A and B are shown apart, each in its own frame.
Chain A
Amino acid sequence: MKLVSRELDKGGAGYVTMIPEEAEDMWHAYNLVGVDDTLQSTTIRKVSNETSTGSVSVNRVRTTLTIRIETIEWDTQGCVLRVKGRNIQENQYVKMGAYHTLDLEMNRKFTLGKNEWDSIALDRIELACDPTQRADLAAIVMQEGLAHLCLITPNMTLLRAKLETNIPRKRKGSCSQHDKGLAKFYDQIIQAILRHVNFDVVKCLLIASPGFVKDQFMEYMVQQAVKLDYKMLTDNKSKFVLCHSSSGFKHSLQEVLQDPSVSTKLADTKATSEVKALDDFYQMLQNDPSRAFYGVKAVEKAAEHQGVEMLLISDELFRSMDLKARRRYVRLVDQVKEAGGDVRIFSSLHVSGEQLGQLTGVAAVLRFPMEDEESDQED
C-alpha cells in the first residue's frame, strides 16, 4: 500500500489517501473501512440523459464519487472489495443521496474519511505500508486422496485449490487401481501448482503430508516435469521443501508452520508468529490454567489489573459493525499496550486466526495467576 496523504485533526477525525498495490492491500483496506465512513474513489457509472424531445441516452461515465458507506462486501478468495453507500458530494452526473457501489481496485487511489481514527486503524495503515513484510509462501498439505494448496501471505492464507479424489485401497492381488488412482491424484496436484503458484513471487513451496506421500509425490512430480517438460517446475525445484504434517486437512497447516525447520526459514512472517503465540497460550493453559484466559470479559478483567502479558485478538472483532463493540476492543488493546503488554492481532484468514476466532476471538497470557470467574464465561 502506498500512503499518499494523511490529514488528521486532534480528535482523530480526518482523511487518509492510499493506493493499494497488491491483493494483500485489499485485505488491509477491508479491515480499515467501516460503516458510516466516507470513501472517495474514481468509478464508472451509468448515466442516463433525457433530451428535451424525450429520448433517453445511456452512457457510462468515469467520475469521482464520495459515498457514505452502508454495506461492505469482501470476497475472501478473490480479494475483491465492494463498498456500497449513498453519494454525499453531488456532481454533474450523480445526485446527492444516490446509491452507488464502489469497487476498490488495485493501483487506484482512494480516500477514506473517518470520524475517529483509532490506534488499531492507524497501526493497520502503518502495517500495510511497510514494504519489508513480504514473504510469499505456498504450501500443499496432503494425504492420500486429499490435498489443499494454499498461498500464505503475511496477512492471508488463501486456499487456492482443494483436491479430493477417491483412491481405491490396495486389495489382495490387485494394486493397479490404487496406483492408477494415486497417479491421477498427483497429476491433479501438479496441475494445481502450475495454475496457481507464481514462482516469481513465491519464494518457497512447502509440501507437507503424513508418511511418505510427500516423497512419493515429489518423486512423481520431478519425473513428470522432466517427461512433459514443465520448465516452471524443473527450474524451481530448489524452492520445494518437504515437511511433515499429521493429515491433509487445512488446519494441519498450523503444524507445518510450527515445525522448527520451517519456521526458521520463514522467521518473520506473521503467519508463523501467530502460530507460535497461540501455541504459547495453549502451553500456558496446560501448565498454569490460572495464567491463561480467554473470552472478552475475563480478559478485560485481567487487563484492568494490568495483568496481561500477551493479548491475542482476532482482527475479525475490529470489523464489527457495531461501533460500540469496536470501541470496547480498541480500549482493551490500548489498555494492554499502556501496561506494557504485547498485542498480537491475528488475521482471521490464517488458520491460527480461525482457531482463535473459535475461541471467542480474545485470549490472553497473564503475568501472574488470577482467579478466573467462571459464571460469566460464555458470551
Chain B
Amino acid sequence: MSRHRNVRALNYEDDYYDEDDVYGHSVEDNYCISPGTAEQFTFDRDRNVALANYMDEQEVIHEEEEPGEELTQHRVSHDPARPTLSEIDEARLNSCLDEVRSVLGDSVPEHVIVEVIVRHNFSIEGAFNELLNQQEAPKPQREPRDNRRNRSQGEKSSSASTTKVATKPDEFPVSKPAVILQSPKPKYPSDATKPQLQTSDPVDNVKVDLKSLNVSSQSSQKVADNKNSMLSSDIKPDDSQVPLTLKPDIEAISAKGGVNVAKPEKDCLTVDNVDSGVGERVDGNSLQATPKKERFIPPLPKSSSKSKYEKFDLKQEYKKRNSSKEMLNLVVIGHVDAGKSTLMGHLLFKLGKVNQRTMHKYEQESRKIGKSSFMYAWVLDETEEERARGVTMDIAQTQFETPSKVITLLDAPGHKDFIPNMITGTAQADVAILVVNATTGEFETGFESGGQTREHALLARSLGVQQLLVAVNKMDTVNWDPSRYDEVVKKLGQFLKQAGFKEGDTSYVPVSGLAGENLAGPVKEARLAEWYKGSTLAEQIDKFRPVVRPVDKPVRVILSDVFKGLGAGLTATGKVVSGAVQLGDRLSVMPAGEYTVVKGISINDEAVNFAFAGDHVQIVFTGVDITNVGVGSVLCDCQTPVVCASRILARVVLFNLEVPITRGFTVIFHYQTVTEPAILKKLVSQLNKSTGEVVKNRPKCLTKNSSAVVKNRPKCLTKNSSAVVEIELEYPVCVELYKDNKELGRFMLRSSGHTIAAGLIEEVLKTKTKDGTE
C-alpha cells in the first residue's frame, strides 16, 4: 500500500515543471518569467478559482451534486440573481427565508425560494404553499441517460460547457404554476387499481420525501434522483399521495416552530393521529422528524415490508411456539456452598448438555488445582477467578429441555457479597430452585439469620417468584437419612409459608449434586430408593406450572449486559419482559431517549426473527452510542415509552434490620438489572402490616410492630414493619408502576450488605432536581 501512498503524495507540479524544463521553454524562460506575467497567463489550480467565472452566470447554480459537495450549498451565498430590494424588504425577505429554511432545509435552492417569497409579497403561507407544491410536482428531471453519458464524456474535453448550458432550463421548474395543497388528487383512484404496488411503495415514497424535507443535507436533485429511479420501475401513480402524508408532518413541525422537535414521542403521536393504522410508517415519520443526525435511519424498504409481514404473524407464532414447548426461566438460589452450581452442572451433564470430552477436561483441570469436587460447577462457572476460588460470582445462563419445557437456567451466586448479582438473576426468573445443604450443621448455618437461605428465599418471593422447588442437596453426606430429610423439610416448610410461598407451590426433592443421585433418570442409590418414591429433580422441574406472560403489552426489553459484538451496532443481552420484538423493529432506548433499530435477535445463540415476553435474548441494534446504553437500559415501544423516574413513592416491607431507617437513609436501590444509590427522602406513613391501613402519618422513624400506637409521622422504621416512603435516586431509572405491571413494579432496598426492604412502586413523582425527566 505504501507504494500507492507515494504516488498519491507525489507533487505533480514538480514533475510538470521538470518536463517544462526539458520540452517547453528555452532556458531563460525558466527563470525570467515575471510574477505579473505568470499571474496573467498561467492557470494555477491551487488558487481558489471559481470555474463559474468563466462560464455563463446561471451555471453557478446546481449541477448534479455529489453528496460530498453538499457544503457548498449550505453557504448562504448572496445570489446575484436576488432581486434588488429596499432595506426593509430585504429584512423581511431574510426572515421569511429563515422560516422557510427551517422547514424545508436546503431542499429547495435559495433563489427559487427568494423568487417565490417575493412573488407572494413576503407572505410565508403563500410561499409555503407554492414551494411545497413544487416539491410534489414533477421534479426537475435528470436528463436522459444517454445524454448524460455523452456529457460526462464530453466533460473531459473543454467543449462540454455548451451542452450543459443547453440542458439547463429544463432542470429547474422555477416558474412552475403553483398547485394549492388542497387540490384534488386526480391520480389517487388509479392507485387503488394497483393494489400490488401499494404495499411497498407508499412507504418508500413518504420516506424519501420526508427526508428531503427534514434532513437538510439532501438536495432536491437527490430526491429527483430517487424518484426517478423509482418511477422507472412503477410508473407514476403515487405521486399524488405525497401531499397527503406530507401535510401532517409539516404541521407537526411548524406547530413547534422549527425542525428542532425536542420530544420525539410527542411527535410520534401527532403524526399518529393523522394517519393512524400503518404502524410502520408512523415510526418512520417520527424517526425522520428527529433533528439529530444519528437518529436518522436510512429508509429500509426491504426490512420494513418484511417486518410488516411478520407482524401479522406474531400472535400465531406465539401460539405455535406455546403449543410445542413451554418456556420457563429458572433461577437457582441458596446459601453459599450449598452446591448450586455443582447440582446444576451435573444435571446439565446428565441431560446431555455437556459432552463427555468437555467434562473430562474439567475433571482433569480441576484435579490439577486440587478442586476435583468442583468439576461439575465448572460447567457454569467459567471465569478464571470463579474457578480458582470455587465460588460463583455472577449469574451464569444456559438452557436445557425437559420433556415438556424449555428451561432457561440462571445460576445465581450464593455468597453474600454477590447478592446484587443474584437479585438481577432472580428478577429475570419465573420459578426458582432453592438448594439447601443437608449436611449436619451446614443447613443450620445457612438457615439462621446470617445465612443466605433465608435471605434468598425472601428475595425470590419479593421479586415475584411464586413456585419454589427445594432441592435438599448433599444427602449422601448424611447417609440418605430420611429423618434428616424430614427435619429439613419441616423447618423450611414453616419458614417458606411465613415468607409467603403457598404450600401447593413448594415441593421438595432429596438429591446429591456431586454423586448425581436423583437428578435425572431412575434412582440408583439403594438407601434412597428405600424410602423415596417421588420424582427426580428433572421430573420435578418439568412439573412447574406455566407462567402467563404479558405478550400483548407494550414492548419492554430490560438489558442486563451491553457489549460490542461482531459486526456493526451494539449487542446486548436482556430479557423481554413484556410484548414482543422482531427484526427491523424501531424501539427507543430509555433513559437515553435515543432511537434504534433491531438488527438481530438471537435466543440461546440461535438467530431468530422475533422474541416474546419471557425470552432471554441477545439483541443487536444500531443507531445508539455505547455511552448512552448500559445495564438497566430499557428498549421500549416508541409510542408508549417506559417512564424514567428519579423520585418515586413506594410501599415497602422492611425485613430484619440492624438499625432503624430514618429519613435521609442511604440505600442501594435494586430494580431489575439496575443497582443505583438512593436516599429515603421522606417517611410518608407507617402501615399496619396485615391490613395495610395507615398507622402513622409521616413517621419520624419506622419501628418494629408499633401498630398499636396511632401516630403521625413516626420517626423511624424498624424490623418487619411496612410503610410508604419517598425515594430519591441518584440517576433516573426506568420503572413501571406496580399497578401497571406486577413484575416490573417491584424493587429491593439494600444497605451495607443486608437486604433491608422489598418494595412496590406506587407512584412516580416529579423531580425537583435539575434533570427534568418528567
Contacts and interface: CB of A to CB of B under 8 A. Distances in A.
Interface of A: 143, 166, 168-173, 175, 177-179, 181, 210-212, 216, 244, 246-247, 249-252, 254-255, 279, 282-283, 285-286, 289, 293-295, 355-360, 372, 374-375, 377-378
B698 interface: yes
A251 B418 CA distance: 18
Interface stretch (B76-84, B200-208, B394-402, B582-590): B394-402
A285 B752 CA distance: 18
Nearest to A177: B563
A339 B389 CA distance: 56
A294 B699 CA distance: 12
A355 B752 CA distance: 14
A165 B99 CA distance: 44
A294 B712 contact: no
Contacts of B415: 211
Interface residues of B, number: 55
A360 B682 CA distance: 11
Given A169-B560, A210-B418, A377-B713, A359 B664 contact: yes
Given A169-B561, A247-B668, A374-B713, A282 B752 contact: no
B92 interface: no
B406 to A, nearest CB: 15
B205 to A, nearest CB: 41
A175 B394 CA distance: 12
Nearest to B379: A172
A170 B413 CA distance: 13
26 contacts: A166-B630, A168-B562, A168-B563, A172-B396, A172-B397, A175-B383, A211-B415, A211-B418, A212-B389, A244-B417, A246-B417, A246-B668, A246-B752, A249-B677, A279-B659, A282-B662, A285-B662, A289-B701, A294-B715, A295-B700, A358-B664, A358-B665, A358-B666, A374-B711, A374-B713, A378-B713
Given A286-B659, A359-B664, A210 B417 contact: yes
* Interface SS of B by simple majority: mixed
7 closest residue pairs by CB, A with B:
A358-B664, A246-B753, A210-B417, A168-B563, A282-B659, A211-B417, A359-B664
B716 A289 contact: yes
Contacts of A360: 664
Interface of B: 382-386, 389, 391, 393-398, 415, 417-418, 420, 560-563, 573, 605, 626, 630-631, 657-660, 662-666, 668, 675, 677, 679, 698, 700-701, 703, 711-716, 718, 750-754
Nearest to A358: B664
B679 A358 contact: yes
A277 B451 CA distance: 29
A285 B660 contact: yes
A355 B666 contact: yes
B663 A359 contact: yes
A378 B415 CA distance: 40
Contacts of B718: 286
Contacts of A178: 383
B397 A286 contact: no
Given A168-B563, A171-B397, 19 more contacts: A170-B383, A170-B394, A181-B563, A211-B417, A212-B393, A246-B417, A251-B666, A282-B660, A282-B662, A285-B701, A285-B716, A286-B660, A286-B718, A289-B703, A289-B715, A289-B716, A295-B700, A372-B715, A374-B715
B659 A172 contact: no
A374 B660 contact: no
Contacts of A372: 700, 715
Nearest to A249: B677
A204 B560 CA distance: 36
A175 B701 CA distance: 46
A295 to B, nearest CB: 8
B716 A175 contact: no
Contacts of A169: 394-395, 560-561, 573
A246 B420 CA distance: 10
B660 A210 contact: no
A359 B666 CA distance: 11
A171 B398 CA distance: 9
Interface centre among B386, B605, B658, B660 (most CB of A within 10 A): B660
Nearest to A146: B675
A51 B695 CA distance: 80
Nearest to B381: A170
B85 to A, nearest CB: 44
Contacts of B658: 286
Contact of B657 (A252, A255, A286, A294): A286
A231 to B, nearest CB: 28
Nearest to A164: B630
A179 to B, nearest CB: 7
Contacts of B715: 285, 289, 293-294, 372, 374, 377
Contacts of B386: 170
Contacts of B665: 355, 358
Contacts of A279: 659
Nearest to B730: A249
Contacts of B751: 246
Contact of B663 (A210, A212, A255, A358): A358
B362 to A, nearest CB: 14
A279 B658 CA distance: 11
A375 B712 contact: yes
A360 B397 CA distance: 46
Contact of B382 (A166, A172, A181): A172
Given A170-B383, A374-B714, A359 B662 contact: yes
A126 B420 CA distance: 45
Interface centre among A171, A181, A250, A355 (most CB of B within 10 A): A171
A372 B699 CA distance: 12
A223 B477 CA distance: 41
Interface centre among A168, A169, A252, A285 (most CB of B within 10 A): A169
Given A286-B659, A374-B714, A374-B715, A255 B418 contact: no
A275 to B, nearest CB: 12
A179 B384 contact: yes
A357 B659 CA distance: 18
A322 B588 CA distance: 48
Nearest to A181: B563
Nearest to B682: A378
B304 to A, nearest CB: 31
B384 A175 contact: yes
Contacts of A246: 417, 668, 750-754
A338 B718 CA distance: 33
Given A289-B703, A357-B664, A247 B397 contact: no
A285 B385 contact: no
A202 B386 CA distance: 33
Interface centre among A172, A356, A357, A360 (most CB of B within 10 A): A172
Contacts of B396: 170, 172
Given A172-B396, A285-B716, A377 B700 contact: yes
A331 to B, nearest CB: 23
Interface centre among B664, B753, B754 (most CB of A within 10 A): B664
Nearest to B667: A251
A216 B391 CA distance: 14
A278 to B, nearest CB: 10
Contact of A283 (B659, B663, B668): B659
A173 B657 CA distance: 40
Contacts of A293: 715
Contact of B752 (A250, A255, A356, A358): A255
Contacts of B389: 212
Given A285-B701, A377-B715, A210 B753 contact: yes
B394 A294 contact: no
B426 to A, nearest CB: 15
Contacts of B677: 249-251
Contact of A179 (B383, B418, B657, B711): B383
Given A283-B659, A286-B658, A374-B700, A172 B395 contact: no
Contacts of A250: 677
B708 to A, nearest CB: 14
